[in-house]
Structure 1
Amino acid sequence: MPSDATRDLSTVIGANLPYLRRYARALTGSQSTGDAFAAATLEAILEDTSIFEGIDNAKVGLFHAFHLVWASAGAPLGDPDNRMSEKAQNYMANLTPNTREALLLHAIEGFTHDEIGAIMQVEADEATDLVEIAQREMSNAVAGKVMIIEDEAIIAMDISAIVKEMGHEITGIARTRTEAGALAARERPDLVLADIQLADNSSGVDAVNDILKQFDDMPVIFITAFPERLLTGQMNEPAFLITKPYHEDQVRSAVSQAMFFSSTETLTA
């Protein structure tokens, strides 16, 4: 590959690596396992860039390369991080093969059905079917109580409406770190959805850490316009991270999965 093309490819890979790591983490259920396969993907690309031949979109090529590496290893999950994660992995063993991958690629990473087909090496129609099957199967997750930490009223109301429509109960909406801690103490949620930048300039990450000190094994979904603040590779990262502006399908997918598949390591602000 010419040097200019190599530099262009390196730029694209560098820009999309945080999102590949996010996907790998959500797919395998383990930050360490996800990062290991992301690193193995980069090594495979360095060995042979021909994997990108015939693929116009370099980001699609990057995720396709990951899938080849992951599938060749037997599509393994990581070691369960906690009791909830172990239960989730047992549940996932009964899901229709390839559906969760397709759903994550579509709902969380924003790929089209055609792009998912290119990544997973299936026809676009099959990719569409896989996403629809996953949505049906994920919707069977047990309903629970959801707490929202969000300082923008319109966004908070929209998220609340989506979650309620899924059959979950909203325990309340907090706009600051202090409000979040008090709300969680009044009524323990089963799931927290949190922004990272709050009304009084307090940190949603700090608010989540406060809550996790009170309760063990609680799934958290971060919804933020600043994903790079959490996808640094230098700290424990959230298993579920949605980028603003979000789509309803992203929220639905993350909530359904987080109810039975999550990692709740305390984050560093």
Structure 2
Amino acid sequence: MSLGQQLAPHLPFLRRYARALTGSQSHGDNFVRATLEAVVAAPDEFPRDVEPRLGLYKTFQAIWQSTSDDREGDSAGEVGSSSETIAQSRMARLTPVSRQALLLTAMEGFSNEDAGYLIGESPARVDELIDEALSEIERQTRATVLIIEDEPMIAMDLETIVRDLGHDVTGIAVTRDEAVAQAREMPPGLVLADIQLADDSSGIDAVGDILSEITVPVIFITAFPERLLTGQRPEPTFLITKPFQRATVKAAISQALFFDRSTLPE
């Protein structure tokens, strides 16, 4: 099997990580593109002493870590935006390596050992970095959250996680129409949206309707994230895989709000 064939199944998940790390679909995808270009340009330098997924993320990390903090994203081919300026304000108080440790373990499912390999830290240090990231992000971000989910137990679980993080829940919608109506009545600061809803309507369509009226960060929840990361249509920046762990939801919420202008501290 060629190297390309070995890496292909892992690309959707690397794109998810890159987008969550940068807070931007376009910037994240540009970093992934740069990673693949590096692999093609120097295949002999690709890490062969680890599994392909770990080697792919390691190559990505090398490119990410070579980017200077004050131009995060620009080296991947795009001019900085206002959301990046907002992020820079927060990164002055939160080291990028802390966010990487959190996302690699909580969202991408790497062990502390593998995350340590990827960011060049010991497993014990990874634990410390995760604690630092969560503590700092939770102090900086508070929001009202709309949950779009038709499974009662999952919706209750999400509500508990959201409230435990210190956020308020504006409502729980089970259909597209309910979601749009609730968002109009009480505009949320964050949306958590399932893909398939109770009346066979689409969470993607519901979010599209909401975003046509207000600007709000969105986290999609699905059992098949790779189906939303095909590169063939507009795709989510933040994506949670079902069944999810509490830490995954916590990391995704924190990171989505990290880049949202409405949660900047006074």
Is TM (by shorter chain) over 0.5? yes
Task: For 1:189 and 1:254, locate their aligned partners in 2 and report how far apart those are by CA, in whole Å.
Answer: 16
For residue 166 of structure 1, report the CA deviation from its aligned partner: 0.8
Task: For 1:23 and 1:187, locate their aligned partners in 2 and report how far apart those are by CA, in whole Å.
Answer: 31
Q: Deviations over 1:5-54 (max 9, x none)?
A: xx2x3233100101111111121222222222212211222213343132
Q: Deviations over 1:64-114 (max 9, x none)?
A: 011112222336523555x55532332123213410111111111111100
Asked if the contact 2:87–2:259 (Cα under 8 Å) also holds between the matched residues in 1, the reply is yes
Residue 70 of structure 1, aligned match among 61, 64, 68: 64
Q: 1:37 to 1:259 in 2, by over 3 A?
A: closer
List alignment gaps of at least 5 residues for structure 2.
74-78, 262-266
List alignment gaps of at least 5 residues for structure 1.
264-269
For residue 188 of structure 1, report the CA deviation from its aligned partner: 1.1
Asked if the contact 1:84–1:260 (Cα under 8 Å) also holds between the matched residues in 2, the reply is no
Asked if the contact 1:239–1:262 (Cα under 8 Å) also holds between the matched residues in 2, the reply is no
Q: How many aligned positions are there?
A: 254
Q: 1:137 to 1:247 in 2, by over 3 A?
A: same
Give the letter for the 1:230 counterpart: L
What is residue 52 of structure 1 aligned with on the other side? Answer: 47
Asked if the contact 1:85–1:260 (Cα under 8 Å) also holds between the matched residues in 2, the reply is no
For residue 165 of structure 1, report the CA deviation from its aligned partner: 0.7
Task: For 1:87 and 1:59, locate their aligned partners in 2 and report how far apart those are by CA, in whole Å.
Answer: 31
Alignment of 1:4-15 (within 5 A): 4=1, 7=2, 9-15=3-9
Secondary structure of the corresponding residue to residue 140 of structure 1: helix
Task: For 2:65 and 2:143, locate their aligned partners in 1 and report how far apart those are by CA, in whole Å.
Answer: 33
Alignment of 1:1-269 (within 5 A): 4=1, 7=2, 9-46=3-40, 47-55=42-50, 57-74=51-68, 76-78=71-73, 79=79, 83-216=82-215, 218-262=216-260
Asked if the contact 2:20–2:256 (Cα under 8 Å) also holds between the matched residues in 1, the reply is no
Give the letter for the 1:183 counterpart: Q
Asked if the contact 1:33–1:77 (Cα under 8 Å) also holds between the matched residues in 2, the reply is no
Secondary structure of the corresponding residue to residue 259 of structure 1: helix
For residue 164 of structure 1, report the CA deviation from its aligned partner: 0.6
For residue 124 of structure 1, report the CA deviation from its aligned partner: 1.6
Asked if the contact 1:149–1:192 (Cα under 8 Å) also holds between the matched residues in 2, the reply is yes
Q: 1:238 to 1:77 in 2, by over 3 A?
A: farther
Q: Deviations over 1:109-156 (max 9, x none)?
A: 111100101111222222221112111111113322110000111000
Task: For 2:202 and 2:80, locate their aligned partners in 1 and report how far apart those are by CA, in whole Å.
Answer: 28
For residue 244 of structure 1, report the CA deviation from its aligned partner: 0.5
Q: Percent identity?
A: 49
Asked if the contact 1:141–1:256 (Cα under 8 Å) also holds between the matched residues in 2, the reply is no
Asked if the contact 1:196–1:205 (Cα under 8 Å) also holds between the matched residues in 2, the reply is yes
Normalised TM-score (structure 1): 0.88
